[in-house]
Structure 1
Amino acid sequence: MAEANGHEGLVCITCQQPAKLQCPRCLELNLERDLAAFCSQECFKGSWADHKKLHKPSAAEGWHYCTRRGAGRSLNLPEFKWTGELRPYRIGPMRPIPDNVPKTDYYAHPAGYPTSEMESRQQHAVKIRTEKDLAGIREACLIGRRVLDLAHAAVKPGVTTDEIDRVVHEATIAAGAYPSPYNYYNFPKSVCTSINEVICHGIPDRRPLQEGDIMNVDVSVYYKGYHGDLNETFVVGQADEASKQLVKVTYECLHKAIAICKPGTPYREIGEVITKHAKAHNMSVVRTYCGHGIGDLFHCAPNVPHYAKNKAKGTMKVGEVFTIEPMINLGSHRDKTWPDGWTSVTEDGQWSAQFEHTLVITPEGYDILTARLPDSPPLWWEAEAAAQQGGGGGGAAAAGGAS
């Protein structure tokens, strides 16, 4: 941590006290001085998990190897030990946001910095949502659900993930909402699409989906001041049994964790339930990424780890809103990040799946705000069951919960 040279007028981005220090990496990257300012080592360390996201490369710099002109995959890949068979393809330009769509505070920020999120007390204290809050979050979550269902319906061999991004972007805008990932810490697209060995934060590009792929689509929307967040993993065409089982076990991990949610349940117990089920199927749980609080901010307290023996603090209380989003791997739980600064992959190249819901704690237990609808496209096991019975239609999960 460097002493803040010429720090007059700068305040700590964590506690708003006069700044005495500056982040050396921010200075090296020539980021804005006010983003690098801290009053002490303690404030710097306390905010490091979120602050380090500022060091991710910008869209103009970090993705240069996959944004060059032309069709197909870039031939100018950086030196990197790729862990599996997947490689980045070219990324198309960011899609425009109409003037009439309310924007987030990071929409126009050159570093995509979510100022209100980073400076909020909600990073340290879990907020009890009011009825007004819950009504707004429910609206955002319902839009997110309908957008994800449209994306799911578009998934098939030959379709590019950039086309999935177009579907998500246009459906979100049509609903009067803003795609929450758009420019969040300079993320260059409106949705995350994570294929095969990609754990999370995959960037939509021009790679066509292939028969047998699995792909997670992570949709987040911002509507009338509130965010909603959910994701599901889909099978592309016909996949092998190991991949299909991975997807189903991950779905089960999520719902077994949701089932224990109620007032008084310690947040750390979620990781115990998920790990027990994953281990029973010889699968591992990713530890780097966790569920999170959500509402008027995209990410806030509580942190919700998905692995066993975690040190999550606090117990669930009525009115708390958060996500559970386990990432389950066929091999090692460890991850590695591509040079784009976003795409997280398994260290051994084996495949990964994820499911996510946003939920609220109620006096009786919980309510899944992003629950599947009666007309949601079926997941692979639902589709197979319907085919065996000679029927059709989607499979809706229970929207409410019990203790």
Structure 2
Amino acid sequence: MVNENREVTEKIINELLHGKICTDASAFSELHRIATWTNPYVDYAYVDDYSKKTIAIIFFDKYNDNEIIKENTVKAISEFDMVVDAYDVHSLNEANFYLQDITRTRLNALPISVIVYDSNGKVSPLNTISISEHKATKRTVKEQRSYWCWWRDGSHFEVATLLELSQKYDDEQGDIYTNFVYPEFFNLMIEGKTRKWDGTPRVKKYSTSSYKSEKQNYKIPMCQLGLWDVETGHITHKGESVLCVIKRYGADSKEFFDYLAKIILIDGKHLDLIKDLEEFQKNNTELIPESSSEFFILFDDYMTQKNSIGTRKPTAQKTGAKKAYVRDEPKLWNKLGIVKLQGKSRYYKSYVGIEFDWDRINEILLADIFGGSNEKI
């Protein structure tokens, strides 16, 4: 279903750009995919590079509940200039009932589009909208974030430790990550009491620069995956669910490992990034180089042309940072066991690219720790 929603989203964007969903033809001309970390109730989000108008897309099949869809749409409409609620054709009755409901409650006066799609990717709007009068909250983000979860070197063991610490200090007020969680976590690293992916101790030497850089390296993915509150570092409901798995099965269990991997792939949008990378490899076989460093520069160019990559900070471009934007993500995929190794530790195959283990990916997507819905590609 994840893969289908991604393809349907591309169809929706195409219809939007051709003026078949929104009557304001000038509102959208060059849409750029953006992150949804601060809007977890949104499945996909875009901004127009010229008008700066934003659009959110929410899929009914994720919830199968019109009340939840309406609640999430009301949240999104204050943050985005337009919201598209997407229904599978098999849920046409629910879509019509939903449209009647928002008409009855006068929500249809807002730029909310209800569309239906079929298995062939055909998109059919049930209504047309205008966004000329709508004023969404303007964003103050200084740079455009990429849509997938940022990750550096943190391991699943360290995610478990961070969740345990955030629960330990949950009764404290304010920024518990800065004041309590991170200082204790960094001391554990100095003492060799945190673990890398293979279970061996991670030993850090103290320095002011290391303390500062590692702080963000560990905080960002915890927040982007929705495990922590962005402002304070307090554990969220989702974080508590993950911690429940850790307490039940252990931090070294396959259950926890696969549950976290599933969150990274779906909620962290790494599955979408993998599909983008495979699409690049499939459509540009003659361009795939010998070296991985050159490969990822070419992939960056591809994602830039596709309007699917964020801008880098000026400081990152001037301080010797690696040239490619996508650089540590394949290392994470390797740790998750979803790439086919080309040697003892090499995941890149010269003139081919990265080969993914889709049996392993589907095993992760089908992981059903709490009896919830599963996904399969």
**TM class by smaller structure:** under 0.3
Between Structure 1 and Structure 2, which shows a larger proportion of helix residues? 2
Normalised by the length of structure 2, the TM-score is 0.27
Which structure features the higher share of strand residues? 1
